[in-house]
């Protein structure tokens, strides 16, 4: 809710990097990974950070912000809030997100038209370097 840290499979802190959530007035309501980015959100805005170095990449302000698609799809293409463990074509264990990746979609109240909503789709910019 206040910050993010890296942990190993035993729950021990594995790096000294601490990513502090910029929403000091309200705590993060949820989080998801999308590519190399950590997306944190609450009802007022979305914060996008580089998960490797913690650098803030983008803030999207809004009202009544909701994540409607976390960008993770199972082997059949069904939307899944959490990646399920499945066996890949080579028999190795992988996650459903490794098989088929979707895009993160965000809904929020329209800033100019009361009673309307807008939907934003996050796309990775392959040519962008961090």
Threshold 0.75, pTM exceeds: no
Highest mean pLDDT of the ranges 2-6, 41-45, 73-77:
41-45
Q: Is the pLDDT of residue 111 over 70?
A: yes
Q: Of the given ranges (5-9, 64-68, 74-78), which has the lowest mean pLDDT? A: 74-78
SS3 47: strand
Q: Which two tokens stand for residue 82?
A: 């959490």
The span from the CA of 61 to the CA of 97, in Å, is: 27
DSSP-assigned beta bridge partners for residue 121: 105
Q: Residues 17-55: pLDDT tens digits?
A: 666 666 656 677 888 888 888 888 889 989 898 888 888
């Amino acid at each position: 809710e206040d910050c993010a840290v890296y942990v190993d499979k035993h729950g021990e802190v594995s790096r000294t990097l601490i990513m502090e959530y910029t929403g000091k007035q309200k705590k993060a309501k949820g989080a998801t990974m999308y590519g190399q980015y950590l997306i944190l959100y609450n009802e007022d805005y979305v914060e996008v950070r580089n998960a490797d170095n913690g650098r803030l990449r983008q803030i999207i302000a809004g009202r009544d912000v909701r994540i409607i698609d976390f960008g993770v799809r199972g082997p059949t293409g069904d939307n899944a809030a959490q990646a399920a463990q499945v066996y890949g074509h080579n028999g190795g264990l992988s996650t459903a997100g490794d098989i088929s990746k979707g895009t993160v979609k965000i809904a929020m109240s329209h800033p100019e038209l009361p009673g309307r909503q807008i939907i934003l789709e996050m796309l990775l910019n392959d040519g962008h370097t961090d």
